[in-house]
Each structure stands twice: as C-alpha cells, then as structure tokens.
Structure 1
Amino acid sequence: MDRGLRDIGNLSLGDQEDMRSRIERVTEDLKDINLFYNIEYSGVRKARLQTFLSQSLEELKEAPFNSFDQQNRIDYLLLKNYLSRQLDQLDLDVAKDKTSALLLPFGPTILKLCEDRQQMKPIDGKKAAQDVFEIGKQIMAMKGKVERKEVKISKTSAFRASNTVEKLQSHLAEWYGYYNRYDPLFTWWLAEPYAKVAVELAQYAASIKEGLVGIKPEEKDAIVGDPIGRDGLLKDLEAEKIPYTPEELLKIGELEYEWCEKEMIKASQELGFGQDWKRALEYVKDLYVEPGKQPQLVLDLATEATEYVKKHDLITVPPVCEETWRMFMMSPEAQKVNPFFLGGDSIIVSYPTDSMPHEQKLMSMRGNNISFSRSTVFHELIPGHHLQLYMNARYRPYRQIFETPFSIEGWSLYWEMILWDDERFVKSPENRIGMLFWRMHRCARIIFSVKFHLGQMTPQECIDLLVDWVGHERATAEGEVRRSFAGDYSPLYQAGYMIGALQLYSLRQELVVSGIMSEKEFHDRIMKENQMPVEFMRALIKNLPLKPDFKSTWRFYKNLE
C-alpha cells in the first residue's frame, strides 16, 4: 500500500463515534501526518494535510448535532473551528511560500530527495550526486544575484526564505546521514558534492539575511517578524470567537491603559511622587533582592498566593498540584527572549548571573523586583498556569488540542484582576504599582502586536512603546518584542492576555456576581472543562442554544459600547 496515499482519516464510523473519540482520533492522525510529512516547505505535506482536514470536515457534517447534549455540541463546534482554522493557516503558508520561492529555485530538488527517502524509494548514488551538484550551481547563482542586489523581494519574504534555507539544510543533512556509509556507492558519489552544498546553503542563508533583510552575521538578536495584515487578523479573531475588529481591540487596549494610568497616579501620590507615576515606578524597580535571594522570594510569594486562595475557598487546589511545582533559574541567553519569569509545570526564574555585563545585571534585577515578582509568581503558579496545566491534564484532556491564548493567558491575568479587586488580599502602594505595571504591559501588548500586524508599527517602535508607555527597561522591552515576533507565537497571542482576561471577568459578572454560582464553583468548572475559546465556555456553562453554524456574537466589553 502506498503510505502517502493511504486515507488515514476515514474510518467509516459514522454516527456511532462520539465526539470525544472523534477528536482523539483526529488528534492522533494529525500527529502522525505531521511527523511523517515533516518538511514544512513541502507541497506534498500541504496537499496531504489539506486532504485530511477537508475530509475530516466533511465527515463531521454527518454527525447528529441536533441529538447531541451540550458537551458534545461544544466538542463538535470546537473540532469544526479547529479544522477550519488549520485549513486557513495552510492557505496562508502557501501564499507566503510563493512570495519567498524566488530565492529557492533549488528547493524542489531538495524536497524530492528527502521525500523519496521518506517513501523509502531506491537511491541512485550517481544521479543523486548530479542532483546535489546542480543544487550547488543554483545556490551560487542566486547568491551572486543577492550580493549584486538584483533580487526584488520584501524583507519579510526574504527572512522567511532564509529560514527555509536553514531548514532545508537540516533536512538534507538528515537525508545524507541516512545513506552515508550504509550505502558505500552512495558515499563514493556524494561525499564531496554534499559537503560543498552543506556549506553553500549556510552561506546563502547568511547572504539573504545580510543582503535582503539587513541583518549582519553578528546581529543574532535582530527582530524582523512577519505581519499577517488586517484580513489575517480578522480570520484569527473569528477562529478565537472574538466579535471585534482589530481597530476595536486597539480601542479596548487604550481604554484599559487609561484606567491603569489613573490607578498608577493614585499609588504614586501615596508614595509621595504626586502625578509623576513613572518616578514612583522607578522607585519600585529599585526594591529588588540581593544576588542569591531571588529563589527564596519566589518560594515565599508562591506560598502566600496558594494559602490565600485556599483560605478564602476561591478554587480547589489538589494536594499533588500544590506539592509538585518546581523552580529553575533561567540562563542569560534565554533571558534575552524571556526577560521575566516563565511558568507552568515549573517556574523558571529570571535573575542576573555573574557573567552578565553590569548594565544588563541592573536591568534584570530592576525588571524582576519584589513587587513585579509578586504578580508574576501567582500568574505562573497557583492559581495561574501551574494549577491550570495540572487540571487540563486530568479533566477532558482531549480538549488540549484547542489551546488558545485567550484561555491560557487570559486565565492567569484574570486572577491578577480578581486579586486586585479583592480587598482581603493585602496590597501596599508598591504592590499595586507592580500589579498595574503588568496590567499596563498587557494593554500595550494589544496595541503593539495588533499595530505591527496591521503594518502600522515597526519592531523598534514596539520596543519604544513598551519603554515609554509602560516603563520597561529597554532590555526587557527588546526581549518582549523579540519573543512576540520570533514565530513561536500566533499573531493574536499577545492580545490574548488582556482580551481573554476581560472575557473571563465579564463571564464572572454574569455567573458569580449575579449569584448563580459561587466563586469556587465557577473557577472549578472552568478548570474542568479544559481549553476552548471563552465564548464557547460561556455557552457551555450557561447552556445557551447552539447551532452547527455558530457565529460569535458576545460583545463582552461593555465600556466600548
């Protein structure tokens, strides 16, 4: 049987397959397809995924939606939304690859060599050597055009092409390593041309970055990014079930920032700095612990937050969850991308090492001061990400494929809002400034990330906004922007913190403040339903009417209306 043409998705289970089983099957099938067809640039991979996703959507239409209970209806809508979004992403990837193809005339040959190996087709060493030799000629010809500035292409497309060259170099190395020495004739033919092409690919990627993107070899930390435009943002907002335009998101960010600034001034006045809240912020930044003391600070803050939510019965904290979080220190290199703490199963603590330059040490200490760290710790551990990931692994874990920053990051920032409101949670003016810093930061994240993808801000302007609006240290601002646009996060990820938190906050008003549910019932229910867009969570908990062609309508941010 031809493995490439085998229909993995269609098991002819029809209406007998419940939604959980269907989701688990699709998840595993996609995992296998992506593992086997592992070259992102490949048209074969994209075609196989498109076939599978389209077939899965067609099969889903046959499911008996009207006879489902609310849980199965939500699962139906989650899977439909997920498959549609994956198809949209494929279309976007195809369009972007077309814009960078000009720089990759040798790409199809490398793809064929690697994919023939994946299909375990016989190898002709002499022919393969000629193919590799021709690849080298094409690389050198294109390298010359790049250096003579004869290629007209956008910076973002060129940057994508340079990254693709590096990935193709890695795949070609895997191809060569598979045959080398195991097939003596292959090695006899390929040793010299392959070694030459491996070097030429690396040099060509560097030439593209320097000549077309403007990144010199020594500028390893340069920020480029790849804006998706307004239409791309609208598609992502629909997939996230956010019925607002990019312009409305910007307005929400501005309104929330105005609230934060008013509260900052109040705290500043209490500390004797009057209206000049930035001076008060600088004062708070200097309240950091001495070298070697940061782990103990994190432990004390984690204990405080955990004991607080347990004492006031705000959410269930399972004993194993409370017992098993771990702490690690972040490397200086990692702090260039993640200048603050990271969390989840463990908390990874940012603090300078003796190897850092003096100025960078001070910025790291000031950026992770006592009051900033207080919010960060309960954001990352309990009741934030550590508790969230613990529960997600144990309750409806099949929904983890529907992970969204509006739920993941929204949950942790939501707790920052709840503890701000809770007068029982003791907050000095310094603590309030620390909490407001992060809240301002999430407002700025909406603005700089959305404007970047709209083509209205450059990465440098994004850095400047974080410094000027929020009071970031420049090094931490650079790290935040580098992290945002490096390609590891979706375009709406940074907006997901504040927008997701506002969704959960609004849902709490409907269910807890109204008296329908207790605080603990509400929080436990959200944790036990796992990952999904927050509007689906609202429909599930409130048992709202659902249809297969669900459209987002929940205008949760009343200040905008």
Structure 2
Amino acid sequence: MTITPLYTERCHVGGSESNLRDLIVRVTEDLKDIKKFLPIQISERRKKRIRNFLELEIDSLKEHSQDLWRANQETRVDFILIQNYMKRKLERVDFESKQDEGASLLIPFATILVDICESRAMVLPMEANEAAQKLFQVQNQINGMIAKIKNAEIDINKVLAFRAASTIDALRGHLQEWFSFYTGYDPTFDWWVSRPYSLVDSSLESISNLIREQLVGIQPEDKDAIVGQPIGREGLLSDLRAEMVPYTPEEIISIGEKEFDWCIVELKKASSRMGLKDNWREALEKVKNDYVEPGQQTQLVKDLFHEAVAFVEEHDLVTVPSVAKDTWQMFMMSPERQKVNPFFLGGESIIVSYPTNTMDHEAKLMSMRGNNIHFSRATVFHEMIPGHHLQMHVNDRYNPYRRIFDTPFSVEGWALYWEFLLWDDEKFPKTPENRIGMLFWRLHRCARIIFSMKFHLGQMSPQECIELLVNEVGHERATAEGEVRRSLSGEYSPLYQAGYMLGALQIYALRKEVVDKDVMTEKMFHDTFLRCNRMPNEMMRALMLGKDLEPDYEPNWKFYG
C-alpha cells in the first residue's frame, strides 16, 4: 500500500485543516475552563458538570458521524481521537468518584469545605456569621475523626488513607485561597471568621499528618516515603483501551520480561568485548565510574548534543529546523528535585542532574555514577535531538490542536525509538562501554513495564520495585528510589512508565511496515510522525497506511512479535 500524494502533502508538510479541528480546540478549552472554575477534584458539582459536558459532546458527535465519515482519512482519524478522548475522560470521572467514595470515610467534613470554597468561586452572597458556624461544624467533625483514629476505630486500607490525606491537603489549600479572598475586604469577615478559620487550618494539617502516621505508616521524619495509589486490573484495562493498546496487563508484563531477557544477552556480549567475559554487572560498574569531574558535566552535555545533531543531519534521518538546533538551553537540577528525577530531563531545555556541594558524599558519588559519560550519551539524544526537543519543537508548529491527544506511547516512545534506531545503525559509533550505557537504559525501560504494571496489580510494593531496579538492573539505590518515587507519586498516569518501551516497540514496528516496504523514505517517515503530532500510535499507523476505519473502531494492532 502506498500513501496518496494528497495525504503526503497534507500531513507531511502541514496541509489543510481537519474538519474537526475547531471542535477539538473548543472541547479542549471548554474542559480547561470548567476545571479552572471548579478546581476541587472531589467536588460533586465539578464531576457533574464535566460528566454532562462530555455526554452532550459525545451525543452531538454521533449525530454528525455520517457526514464526517464521508470526508478524508485525517477527519476520520480526528473523529476517533476526539471520541476516544471524551470517553476516556468520562471513564476517569467515574473511576475517581469510586476512589473518592472509598476515602470519604476519613473526611466527613469535606462537603462543607467544598461548598464554602465553591460559593466563593460562584460569587454567592457570603454571610460571615454563617461561614463561621460552618467552620465550627468542620472543627467538631475533625476533632471527632482524630479521636476515632487515635482510638483505632477506623478500618481502612493504606491506599485509601493516603488518598484521604492528599485530599485533605488539597482542601486546606483551597480553604486558604477562600480566606485570603475575603480577609481585610469584608469588615465583618475577620471578626467572625479569623479564629475558627485558624483552628480549622491547623486541624486540617494535624489530621493529615495523623492519617499518614497512624493509617499509612509514614513517620514525620520520613518525608521521602513512597506510597502510591494502585488502580487495579480493571483500571489498567480501561487505560490500555484508552491508549489503543489491545493487550492485557499480563501480556504487557510478558513483553517487558522478554525484552528484559534480550537486554541481558546483549549486555553479556558487550561485557565480553570489554574483556570481562559475561560478567555484565562488573562491566556496568566500570562504566558507572567513567564520569567527568565536578563542573565538567555541562560541557559534556553540549558536546553530546552537537554529536547527535551532526549524525542525524549527515545521514539525512530527520529534518532539524535551524531554530530548534540553535535555541536550546541548559539548566541545572536542584538536589531536592533529583530525589524524584535522578537523571536528566529534557524537552524545550535540558535539565542536567549532577551533584552539588550541598549533597553528602554518598549522594554525590551515586549521582555522578548514575550520570556517567556513557549513560549521559544516550540520555542527551533521548532528551534533545532527535528526541524530545525536536519533537516538541515540531509539535508546536504542525497540527498543534492534536496535542490534546498526548500519550506517553507517542511522546516517550518516540525518544526511546531513536535509541533503538541508533543501536541498530552500524554508522553510529559505539564502543563496548557505549553499548553498556545504551543497554542500561533499555533494560531500565523493561523494568519500568514490569514494576509499574505489577504495582498497579497489587503484586509489588514500592520497596520491591526499588529492589528490582537495584538488584536486577544495576541502579544506584538513590536513583532507584527516585525512579520509583517519580513513577508512583501520582504525577504520571499509571501507564506512563510502560509507555516508553511499548511506544518504542510500536513505532519500531510501524517503521518496518512503512520504511522497509518503501511506502516512505526514512526521513519522510520521521518527519511525518512528528508533523502529524500526538496520538495513540495505532491511529498514526492508520494515517500512514490508510487503514480502514469505522466510527466505533476498536484497536486491534498486535505490534509485538
């Protein structure tokens, strides 16, 4: 199958707009405004408003499906993308409602606080004496709950208790905003409200800390404890459907384990070339100790950046706009942030992880070993060009309305895919030490699939996840803790960490269908992928290969072996 000249022109170089573009942009902005106006996540008013909005939009889309389906392939893809997006959001509202219901046992006072804060957002009349009375009721309810917790009268699991504590922290922040809005402005407000507000604010902090200590098991001195909130098998299946990945959680784990085994075989080959037979762990230790001296890491990163750009341009692998190449920036990561991100971060800029003078001796050594020359080489290519920096630069300029369909399978998959490609490319220079560095990251991404999926299935604890990275991948303990903390903190979707390897495998498989079969040149394939912007990779495949689509399309691409 070949791509028509019309499609190549439209997606590869920008082309005309999709008929659904305005709808997608409007849905994006409307949802953003609703969430901004009603920012309290446990609010029933917020959930109802979002649910009603999405249901109406989905019904409207169905009404116009026949007309839209007579258009071109891009419109059909956009239809499936926005329909899938809205259904996913609807499922997420229902899923989070169930989780909130489970945690509500510990926060019976939440409804009053939500009403107080949302009344301010809607600018309803505020009677200071009534507000004070409500805060008095909240204070009594908090006191009662504190007593029950101390007397061991509450039976709730750690995950829901942790969710309740996080919800209390968020409510405290919203209440602080409410108080700051009125204080000093309404003459009667401070007279009535200051004292009860001060008591409630302090009590919210106290009960949050108590829940963490008594019900979750996090002591005050253990500020860096990792808990996480597993979503279970049904939650994973729902997320996999939304990402258009037609595999079960168990099948995903199997893929991670098979790729893990491949990495071990290749690590042994590389260690043998280093004269260490098949002792890849010893080879890894040698590679870790090959780091630059303090103050030299930024220059190393700069040199590696220019090496990567020169290679992809010399071999005509992807278009690198001069602005993308010339305007990148570098920043240093703080020691506190390194607890969550022990390695480099990238995108518009690269943020360098390396020890500072405030870190203790052990932490300095672990950071230097974890960001050695050979690990850094692969990291810079992943984060900058041809990885995330180039990706974000192009996504900002071509079909930007599709950024709403952001997915780690496309975003992180793209950057790791380049690590696959450079590993395969004999023209790309690689010493055995370089190969160890590249394989460390590949093994790491396999482990991410295994520990993140098993954590959400309830099969691994955070500590067991850390031990896997230390004992089976070769992480420094500090970097392993940072990785697990980052993965399970809730800042990333449950499938985010699995998306690196799975997304790379998808793009790698798509390349075989497109480039190896002469549908596109390699450069055209890479440029097209970037300029079509973000979406589940199965939809990218449908665009590139002109696959048959229906309004009720179900994902079916078995991309792995």
**1:96-495 to 2 correspondence within 5 Å?**
96-495=99-498
Contact persistence 1:512–1:522 (CA under 8 A)? yes
Q: Say if 2:507 is the partner of 1:504.
A: yes
Task: Give the Cα separation in 1 of the matches to 2:471 and 2:528.
Answer: 40
CA positional deviation for 1:62: 1.8
User: 2:552: which partner in 1?
Assistant: 549
Root mean square deviation of aligned Cα: 1.0
User: 1:532: which partner in 2?
Assistant: 535
Task: Give the Cα separation in 2 of the matches to 1:34 and 1:287.
Answer: 48
Contact persistence 2:487–2:497 (CA under 8 A)? yes
CA positional deviation for 1:65: 3.1
User: 1:12: which partner in 2?
Assistant: none
CA positional deviation for 1:217: 1.2
User: 1:520: which partner in 2?
Assistant: 523
- Describe the superposition over 1:351-374 as per-residue Cα deviations: whole angstroms up to 9, x where unpaired: 000110100000000000000000
Task: Give the Cα separation in 1 of the matches to 2:150 and 2:511.
Answer: 59
Task: Give the Cα separation in 2 of the matches to 1:440 and 1:181.
Answer: 58
User: 2:53: which partner in 1?
Assistant: 52
- Describe the superposition over 1:200-227 as per-residue Cα deviations: whole angstroms up to 9, x where unpaired: 1111100000010000111111100111
The residue identity in structure 2 corresponding to 1:169 is: R
The residue identity in structure 2 corresponding to 1:69 is: N
Describe the SS at the equivalent of 1:513.
coil
The share of aligned pairs that are identical, in percent, is 58
- Describe the superposition over 1:462-506 as per-residue Cα deviations: whole angstroms up to 9, x where unpaired: 000011111000110000000001000000000000000000000
Task: Give the Cα separation in 2 of the matches to 1:515 and 1:79.
Answer: 31
Contact persistence 1:65–1:548 (CA under 8 A)? no
The partner residue of 2:94 within 91, 106, 122 is 91
Task: Give the Cα separation in 2 of the matches to 1:217 and 1:197.
Answer: 21
The residue identity in structure 2 corresponding to 1:57 is: I
Task: Give the Cα separation in 2 of the matches to 1:503 and 1:157.
Answer: 35
Contact persistence 1:502–1:557 (CA under 8 A)? yes
Q: Say if 2:53 is the partner of 1:31.
A: no
Q: Say if 2:82 is the partner of 1:70.
A: no
Describe the SS at the equivalent of 1:98.
helix
CA positional deviation for 1:149: 1.4
Describe the SS at the equivalent of 2:465.
helix
The residue identity in structure 1 corresponding to 2:294 is: P
CA positional deviation for 1:457: 0.3
Describe the SS at the equivalent of 1:328.
strand
Contact persistence 1:227–1:452 (CA under 8 A)? yes
Contact persistence 1:289–1:370 (CA under 8 A)? yes
Describe the SS at the equivalent of 2:350.
strand
Task: Give the Cα separation in 1 of the matches to 2:381 and 2:545.
Answer: 28
Task: Give the Cα separation in 2 of the matches to 1:182 and 1:44.
Answer: 27
- Describe the superposition over 1:228-279 as per-residue Cα deviations: whole angstroms up to 9, x where unpaired: 1111111111111111111111111111111111110011011111111000
Task: Give the Cα separation in 2 of the matches to 1:165 and 1:24.
Answer: 34
- Describe the superposition over 1:328-361 as per-residue Cα deviations: whole angstroms up to 9, x where unpaired: 0000000000000000000000000011010000
- Describe the superposition over 1:404-461 as per-residue Cα deviations: whole angstroms up to 9, x where unpaired: 0000000000000000000000000000000000000000000000000111000000
Describe the SS at the equivalent of 1:327.
strand
The residue identity in structure 1 corresponding to 2:59 is: E
User: 1:9: which partner in 2?
Assistant: none
Structure 1 moving runs of 4+ over 6 Å: none
The residue identity in structure 1 corresponding to 2:113 is: I
Matched positions, count:
543
The residue identity in structure 1 corresponding to 2:199 is: K
Task: Give the Cα separation in 2 of the matches to 1:28 and 1:252.
Answer: 37
CA positional deviation for 1:537: 0.1
Describe the SS at the equivalent of 1:348.
strand
Contact persistence 2:165–2:209 (CA under 8 A)? yes
Unaligned runs of 5+ in 2: 1-17
Task: Give the Cα separation in 1 of the matches to 2:202 and 2:22.
Answer: 48
Task: Give the Cα separation in 1 of the matches to 2:452 and 2:117.
Answer: 37
User: 2:62: which partner in 1?
Assistant: 61
Contact persistence 1:246–1:450 (CA under 8 A)? yes
Contact persistence 2:413–2:504 (CA under 8 A)? yes
Describe the SS at the equivalent of 2:331.
strand
Task: Give the Cα separation in 1 of the matches to 2:269 and 2:322.
Answer: 39
Contact persistence 1:77–1:550 (CA under 8 A)? yes
Contact persistence 1:340–1:349 (CA under 8 A)? yes
CA positional deviation for 1:179: 1.0
User: 1:11: which partner in 2?
Assistant: none
Q: Report which structure shows greater RCO (CA 8 Å, sep ≥6).
A: 2
Describe the SS at the equivalent of 2:515.
helix
The residue identity in structure 1 corresponding to 2:508 is: Y
Unaligned runs of 5+ in 1: 1-16
Task: Give the Cα separation in 2 of the matches to 1:229 and 1:176.
Answer: 38
CA positional deviation for 1:18: 2.7
The residue identity in structure 2 corresponding to 1:338 is: N
